[in-house]
Structure formats: structure tokens, C-alpha cells
Structure 1
Amino acid sequence: MTARLIARTPSAVATQMVIGTILETGVRTSPNQEIVYADKCRMTYLELQQRVGRLASALAAAGVKAGDTVAVMDWDTHRYLECFYAIPMMGAVLHTVNVRLSPEQVLYTINHAKDDVILVNREFLPLIDAVKDRIETVKTFILLDDEGGDVPAGFAGEYEALLAQADSNYAFPELDENTCATTFYTTGTTGLPKGVYFSHRQLVLHTFALRAVTSGDGQGRFNQSDVYMPITPMFHVHAWGVPYLATLLGVKQVYPGRYVPEILLKLLVTEKVTFSHCVPTIIQMLLGSEVVRQLDLSKWKVIIGGSALPKSLAKGAMEMGIDIFTGYGMSETGPVLTLANLMPHMEEWDMDAQADVRCRAGRPIPMVDLRIVDGNMNSLPHDGKTQGEIVVRAPWLTQGYLDDPANSEELWQGGWLHTGDIGVIDADGYLKITDRIKDVIKTGGEWISSLDLEGLILQHPGVAECAVIGMPDAKWGERPLALVVKKPDADVTSEAIQNLVADFAEKGVISRYGIPENIKFVDSLPRTSVGKLDKKLMRTEHLG
């Protein structure tokens, strides 16, 4: 049986889903709305559209054409937002470079992506200078500068000066919606970074799905009256795609530049920010500031991602009036797959019960098909207990790794994208991540979730941070090793932590096999460039 396709008259136009339509919608809706860069720059949406045209004209004058790759190395600025639009709208590919990688890793991503042009903030010139002789394909460098210094030799010019000379009426081409728009590199803890890539169509659909799940009234909603400030780097998965959503809605956008706690807190207050997203370490750092106790943060909504949100941290934020909740996704998924918004009846629950839900990964957003499966790809029950690997399908998932067919096929084995995460799904459809496949601790024939154990240890009032890794054991196969960072001047002992976990085991919260006899106090925990716990490095340091 063959399905019948729609008929199309010769004059009909199949309008393409392209990024430019997001910008056009925001400008049409809110032409005079503000976009702010720290204390350095303010513009309207109409001015943003004009500057996007000027940037495209300047890049074209520098030799950029459709199919080229333009890399950006910057903090979270209005310039980055302009690049989010101008470069893909030209038919070129935006490469958002992770500036927190090592120089060798940055070099690898530049060469692997075959960048043609790099826009680089003055702060990162030493990084570029360290590898410049080994950069293979870049023809042009453009300086991004807040300081007004000299333009280095060999650069095509400085960003603002080039825009000032450029025409705002750039004739953007009509693009196929499947044109590649962006690329960037995963920051996993194994092997070389892997390049993922996304089309215009994928980014537009991701934006629409976010709009669908965040619209309306209730907990965690994002509407036109909100003020948006990312606290997740724009180089990391398009700042979770939220700048595209913010532009579609025409909301006020605030870009803080480099993340400095005092500046973030100041902008939160002075610009009346109501919607952000960040990793747990950032919110923990902000809540630990002395200044924050004097602020009213009761209108601030914050999505937490990148790693698990500890219940103790969630409750600490909620006590300050912050509407905090979790989102889940990964570089390969563009990124958002789930959000832990409360169901309407849950908004009446007490703080402790709400925190349990807010700390889960959440429910799939529209158009996401998410399963937990066994080793044979059989779906597992949604009973909140049965663990399986999380596999997904959605219209915006990367279709492979850039120039890496073997890993691409492994990623999509069986026609589902394999996240490498283990989770459970409860009867209400909420996903809870229990571990990474490579991090789960197999002891005495049982699986112990390192994330669950970390969350319990973090409930000790003297513990600031905790990571749990598996250490080899001749009898049990593996046993948990808890690496613990104490709060300043806190009195914490191994015995106290063991007793705490034993109490939870007695209540059935965790298996008795999860009680760690191995506890090591450390000054800090290593993290990846995007703030995730680097357990590979921990294993190297503590297990050899």
C-alpha cells in the first residue's frame, strides 16, 4: 500500500523552516524590545536585525560564502546572538568553539570542522597564538573586542569596525531547510571530541517544541513578559536552544559576558531577569554568595541541566523563592529532551514532595519519543524501579558524528539514538537518570546508582560536593568510593556519612550494598569544560 502525497500546484511555494523566520517573528512582535550585553551595550530587536544584515555583509566581504564554516570564540555577548542568525542565514555553518577546552583540543576541533573563518575574542588570542601555526584551513581571523586595542597583524579587522562599514541590507539566500546550520563538539571524557551538527529545520522544530512546553500559566513557564539571561555558555548546544526561543517570543534578553558571580547577581537585579538556565555548580556558587541573601529572587525561574540537581540544592533554592527544576538532554540531542515541570496538582504539594519531582529529569517535551530498554532493545515497564538505557527519537537529533561513520552507527544502533544514560520512568511519565552506563557500580550482583548515592551523601549538612566512583573489589566486583568535599569549617567524618547512608538503606531508599566503606575527603572535584563531574579523571587519580 502506498500513501498518497499531497498535490501541489506549480505556483505553490513550500515554505522552508529556516532560522531567519525566528528572527523575523521576534522583530515583528517586539521591534523595540531590548537586548543587553552586560553594562556595555543595549539595542532593540530592530537594531539586532540590522546588525545581523551588517554582519553578513562584512563576512561576505571577507570571503565567506554558502557552505563555508565560520567559528566563533566568545563569551555570552550580543555578538554571539548575531552570529546565531547571520552565519546560518548566509548558508554557512556556525561552529561554536568550546573555549574551555585545552589548546590542543581546540586546535583539533578547528581542523576537524575545516573552519574557514574564526571570530575570536581578544581574551582568547593567546590560545590561538599557541596553535596558529598548525591551523590548517582558516583563511581569515576577525577580532571581537571590548577593550579598543590594536588589531593583530593578519586579521581582517575588528568586529564593530567592520559592521560600521557594512550594508545592513544583505540579500540572504533562500535555503533548503535541511541545510546544515551549526556544528560543535561533544565534551565527553573519553577519546577525542566528536562533532555534531544540526539543520535549520531541526533548530526551528526544537524551538517550537520548547515554545509548546513552556507556554501558558503555571510553574516553570516562559512567556513574553519574562526577561531571559543564559548562564550556560552559548558555545554549548546553542545555550540549550533558549536564545532562539527568546527571540521568537520577542522577550528582553540579557547577555552577561564572562560568568562572574557579582556581575550575574547585579544583572539579575538591575535588568529584572526572570528566566535562566545553568549547571548545578553555578547555582550553588550564586546561592553561596553573601550578597544573594539580600536579594528578592522570587520571580526567577531556572532550568538546571548538565548533571544531577541534588535535592538539598533544589530545596535551598526553593527556600529563596527560586522556581528551580531540571531539564535533560545532551550535545547529540540539540539538546532538550525532557523538562521536570510540575503537573498542576503537584503545585499544591509541600516543598519536600515538589523537590522530588523537580530533581527528576522530567517528562518528554513534544515530539520526543523516549524509551528505556534492555540489552535487546525491549521496552521496560514504567514502574519507577526498572532500569534501562535511555534511547530516543526526535526531529532535531544529530544524524551522526561529523566525518565519523563508525561512531555514528554506534550512536544510532537499531534506529534509536543511544544516550548512554540509565534511567527509570514512573507511572506519571517522569524520567529519572540513575547513572551513566559507564559509571554504574556493579556490586554483589546489584546495580548501585552513583547518582543516587551522591544525592544521599549531599544531604549531610557539612558536605559541599560529592562524587561516587566504582573501585575494583576481589569479593564484590566493585565497591563505591565516595569522594567528599566538606563545607568550610564543617565537621564531617566517614562514620557520619556511613551512618547517614545506612539510615536511608534501613528505610529502603537505597540497597544496603550502597553503604560506602570507602570515603575519601578531597579539596575539590575535577570537572569537564561544561561543568560535569569528570569521573574518568577521578578514576585515574584515585584508582590508578
Structure 2
Amino acid sequence: MPVKMLAPADEAYNYPLLIKQLLLSSQRYAGDNEIVGGNNGKRYSYAEFNERVQRLANVLTEAGVKQGDTVAVLDWDTPRYLECFFAIPMIGAVLHTVNVRLPPEQVVYTMNHAEDDLVLVHDDFLPLIAKVKDDLKTVKGYIQLSDADAPPEAPLDTIGDYEGLLAAAMTEFDFPDFDENAIATTFYTTGTTGSPKGVFFSHRQLVLHTMALAATTSMNDNMQLLQSSSVYMPITPMFHVHAWGVPYVATMMGLKQVYPGRYEPAMLLKLYMTEKVTFSHCVPTILQMILSSEKASTIDFSGWQVLIGGSALTQGLARSALDRGIQVYTGYGMSETCPLLSTSWLPLDAADLELDEQVQLRTKAGRPVPLVNMRIIDNKGRFVKHNGEDMGEVVVRAPWLTQSYLKEPEKGNELWENGWLHTGDVGTIDSSYTLEIRDRIKDVIKTGGEWVSSLDIENLISKHPDVELTAVVGLPDDEWGERPHAMVTVRAGAQVDHETIAEHLQQYVKDGAIEKWAIPDTVTVVDEIPRTSVGKIDKKVIRQQIKS
């Protein structure tokens, strides 16, 4: 029997889920809250921010940007970037958040592949763009972004500087309605092989992700991340999955927001203290960078809540953060998922739990957020039981997942095999719906016919008091197939070697947590563990370095 459909009234308004709707409520709740730029010390009320978004829309249309065009942004984390998050998609154009940490040839590739029409570029990246501008096939103009009151002379022709253009623009813009399935944003995710792949999200997807994220960050009594009194500072680049989508939530709620510019430990800590930041999000390596900075030793971090994602949060790092007063939680997702899929879930009696129990809860990928359907499948594509033991690949469905890769439908079909998005992660789900990621499929180590999780070994190594960060990879071995090898950074003045780590891991062999063959064959102590352009641990580079 067909579902019942009722015709709407002739005059009914078909409300499209557009990013402009998120901006509607921003001034209602903001009060005296400000949007602060750590890059230049400027502060904007929400009324000023809304006006600047409208001015930017006028600047863009005056520059010839039309619906369907693509506007690229190369900037640090600034209030200016937040204005682009809204103005560009709200006029019907596509926001391309360019990964400024990619090699020049990949920056050129992504800009050509996205067919960028207009480029907004910070002073720091103007030399790069000036050098490669003849290789950019579709770009028709540039706007200079500068933190200086008097912008330096640009090394290429521009339409003008951002602040000067905004100052001369009209203060009102009538943002149009259009199809909510129109593409709003695109950016590129890098893998271990091949060129970066473009992912893209519609207005509808971003609005639904925003609503789910808003609910998730306030629905758990022991994880009240975003409330009217919260002060938000991202420490995840705005070019990476829209800073995990949190700026859209913070703006919709009218929260005080602090944008630090380029990530420097001293500036991050200064802003944390002076602006009284309560919530941030970052990858584990950034958290470790903050905790190990010299200035951090004198700071009281109680009251700071930090959501960790991008890479696994080890139990050792979680314990270090908790010891310093930082309430850490895990968020799980990927570029293709906008990104949020699940977060830590703490029970009502969490404060009464022993520290070890809290650490275990905080480091798991947690429970799926509202509207996410998450399952585990075996190597034959069959669903496995949610018993916390049966492992398989994590597959998901949600209304905000990228529907394909830009101009690469064959790769999109691989991503969406059998109608589920395949994450490439191996995990378990228990009876309480809690997800635990055991490893990336490509990072599981097969040694002597047994599967060993690199994440499990990293977790145990991280518990050594002298270890700051660790990464474990598998390398080919003629006898065993693969053997684990570890790379670590250690605390200042500490002496750590293979014997130290092997002895430390023996206690877990005795306890039955790991088998003896899981102990790494080598331990390489380094000053810094290689990271990707978005701050994740780069195991591809680590394998190359250990081999050499």
C-alpha cells in the first residue's frame, strides 16, 4: 500500500534547509558575545558579523561570482574564514577550503580539479599562488587577505584587499532560496596513494549535521560541550572538514568564538587564558604539543573540555590530559562523513568511577550520534553481532555523508559498496551500542598468522610514564609475514630504548592483554613523529623512515 501524501496549501512555504537558515538565530541568542580574532586582536559583535557576511556577499557578486561557481579560500583560522563559511555558499556558490599544508603541486591539482573561479588568499600564501598562478586553469581573480591594517603589496594582480573591499561594499544582501541539495562546500582528502580526492556536501547535509552536532554536544549530562555560556576555540584547521562543523553550531547558537590564526602553542595558551575558552577540538598530536609546551606547566586547565578526533586518543595521553584538568572525549568520523559519526558517552555516575574506567570510556569511539546507523560487517559483507567481541569493518548510513568523490564516480561506488559507506576501520560494537575502533584495515599487523592491532600496542606503550606519543606500524618480515615496529617521542631528559619498552610491555603479556609476539621488534626514539597535513600521525612516512 503506498504511503499517504497530502498536498500542501497553495501558499505554503517550502522551507529549504540552507546554510542561511543557520545564521538566522545567531543574533537572537548572542547577547554580548563576540567573535574574536587572535590573529589581529579584532572583535566583532554578532550584528557586525552578520553585516560583514552581507558585505562579503556583495563583494563576491561584484567580482562576478555566480551560483554554481567555486570560490577557494587559503587562510589560517580567522573570523574572516568564518564569514566565508556563510557568505560563499549562501549566494549559491561552492566554498573550496584549500588545504594550505599540501605540497604546492597538490594545491595546484586540487584547485584545478575543483575548477576554482575566485581565490581568497592570505598574505602568507601569496608567494605560492604567485609562483603557480599560470598553472591554475580556471581562476579568474584573486582577493588579498591580510592581518595588517596596511596590507603589503601583493606579488600578483588582485581585485583588492578583503577589508578594503568590505568597507566599500553595501551592507545588505538578499540571499536567495534555491535547492537545498545544491553543493555548498568541497575539500580534498589525501590517502596513502594517488591524488587527493574531492568530497562535497550540500546545504541540506550541513544543516542536518549541524543540528545533530548541536544535540550531541549537549545531550549527555557529563559532556556539556556547547551551552550558552561556552567559549569556543577550534584547534582543528578550518580547511579540514569545516573545522569538524563546529563553527556552524557555535554561530547558530550565538556563542563567543575565538579564532587563533596560525597554530602556535604560546598563542593558543594565551587565548585560552585571556578569553576563558571552555571548549576546543583537535587531533592527539596537537593536544600533546600543548601539554608539552614549557608555558603549559604553569597553567590551570580545569574547565577546558577538548574533543579529540582524527587519530586514536591513547589512554596514556588521555590520562595526562585528565591529570592536568582537561576533560577529554573522543569523537569519531572521517572526511567523507562531514565528519561526526559517534562520540564518547559517559554514564551519570562517571564522576564516581575510577580513573582507569573513565579513561577507557573517554578513549572509545563511543555511541553513534542521532540519525547515524552504524553496523559492523565481516569480510563477506555480513552483519556481525553487537557483542563487543566480533570484529569487522565499520559501515554507516547518515543523512550528511558525501554521496561520492568529485568527478570520480568509480571511487564513490567503492566507498558506497552495497549501499553502506565503508570507513576502512576495524572495530566492535557492544550491547550498549558503544563502538571501539581496533585499527585501520590497512594498519592491522598480521604476524605469524595472528592479527595484532597497532592501536592496542600504542595504547599500552603510551602508559609508560616517559612516553609522550607513539605510533606502531607493521613491516614485512620473511619469517613472520609482518612484525610490529614502534616510533616514540619521550619526555625531556628521559632515556627510553627498545629494552625499556619491551620490559614495560611484558606486564601486559603476563596479564593476557597482548601476546608476546605483539612486542615491537624495534623502538625508534624521535624528536617528532611524522604527521599529515591535518596533524594526524602519518604511518606511511613512518614505515619509510623505519625501513631506512
More deviation in 75-84 or 163-172?
163-172
Alignment of 1:281-296 (within 5 A): 281-296=285-300
Distance, in Å, in 2 between the alignment partners of 1:388 and 1:488 is: 39
1:531 equivalent to 2:548? Answer no
1:513 is matched by which residue type in structure 2? W
Alignment of 1:428-467 (within 5 A): 428-467=432-471
Query: Residue 84 of structure 2: SS of its match in structure 1?
Result: helix
Distance, in Å, in 1 between the alignment partners of 2:138 and 2:25 is: 36
Who is 1:204 aligned against?
A: 207
Distance, in Å, in 2 between the alignment partners of 1:44 and 1:341 is: 34
1:353 equivalent to 2:342? Answer no
| Equivalent in 312, 316, 338 of residue 342 of structure 2 | 338
TM-aligned CA deviation for residue 151 of structure 1? 4.0
TM-aligned CA deviation for residue 459 of structure 1? 1.5
Post-superposition CA distance 1:473-509 (Å, at most 9, x none): 2222111112233333212231221122221122121
1:175 is matched by which residue type in structure 2? F
Distance, in Å, in 2 between the alignment partners of 1:426 and 1:511 is: 23
| Contact residue 76 and residue 255 of structure 1 kept, 8 A | yes
Distance, in Å, in 1 between the alignment partners of 2:410 and 2:251 is: 37
1:99 equivalent to 2:88? Answer no
| Equivalent in 164, 171, 175 of residue 172 of structure 1 | 175
TM-aligned CA deviation for residue 217 of structure 1? 6.3
Query: Residue 351 of structure 2: SS of its match in structure 1?
Result: helix
Query: Residue 172 of structure 2: SS of its match in structure 1?
Result: coil
Structure 1 residues 297 and 464: CA distance shift in structure 2, 3 A: closer
Post-superposition CA distance 1:505-532 (Å, at most 9, x none): 2212123331223333334321110111
Who is 2:186 aligned against?
A: 183
Structure 1 residues 217 and 451: CA distance shift in structure 2, 3 A: closer
Query: Residue 231 of structure 1: SS of its match in structure 2?
Result: coil
Post-superposition CA distance 1:442-467 (Å, at most 9, x none): 11222100111111112122223221
Alignment of 1:82-93 (within 5 A): 82-93=83-94
Structure 1 residues 354 and 64: CA distance shift in structure 2, 3 A: same
Who is 1:224 aligned against?
A: 228
More deviation in 310-319 or 196-205?
310-319
Distance, in Å, in 1 between the alignment partners of 2:37 and 2:524 is: 43
| Contact residue 151 and residue 158 of structure 1 kept, 8 A | no
Query: Residue 344 of structure 1: SS of its match in structure 2?
Result: coil
Distance, in Å, in 2 between the alignment partners of 1:114 and 1:299 is: 44
Alignment of 1:125-524 (within 5 A): 125-147=126-148, 148=150, 149-216=152-219, 218-221=221-224, 222-524=226-528
| Contact residue 151 and residue 157 of structure 1 kept, 8 A | no
Report the number of matched residues. Answer: 544
Who is 1:12 aligned against?
A: 12
Who is 1:110 aligned against?
A: 111
| Contact residue 444 and residue 476 of structure 1 kept, 8 A | yes
| Contact residue 111 and residue 136 of structure 2 kept, 8 A | yes
| Contact residue 219 and residue 323 of structure 1 kept, 8 A | no
1:34 is matched by which residue type in structure 2? E
Post-superposition CA distance 1:155-191 (Å, at most 9, x none): 0000000000101211211121111100000022221
Query: Residue 313 of structure 2: SS of its match in structure 1?
Result: coil
TM (norm. structure 1) is: 0.97
TM-aligned CA deviation for residue 375 of structure 1? 1.5
Structure 1 residues 292 and 538: CA distance shift in structure 2, 3 A: closer
TM (norm. structure 2) is: 0.97
Post-superposition CA distance 1:51-85 (Å, at most 9, x none): 00000000111110110000000000010000000
Query: Residue 370 of structure 1: SS of its match in structure 2?
Result: strand
Distance, in Å, in 2 between the alignment partners of 1:266 and 1:246 is: 21
| Contact residue 317 and residue 468 of structure 2 kept, 8 A | no
Query: Residue 403 of structure 2: SS of its match in structure 1?
Result: coil
| Contact residue 123 and residue 154 of structure 2 kept, 8 A | no
Structure 1 residues 271 and 134: CA distance shift in structure 2, 3 A: same
Distance, in Å, in 2 between the alignment partners of 1:462 and 1:444 is: 30
1:26 equivalent to 2:30? Answer no
Q: 5+ residue gaps in structure 2? A: none
1:385 is matched by which residue type in structure 2? E
Post-superposition CA distance 1:177-226 (Å, at most 9, x none): 11110000002222110000000110010011011112256222111110
More deviation in 341-350 or 405-414?
341-350
* Residue identity (%): 55
TM-aligned CA deviation for residue 31 of structure 1? 5.4
| Contact residue 496 and residue 525 of structure 2 kept, 8 A | no
Who is 1:37 aligned against?
A: 37
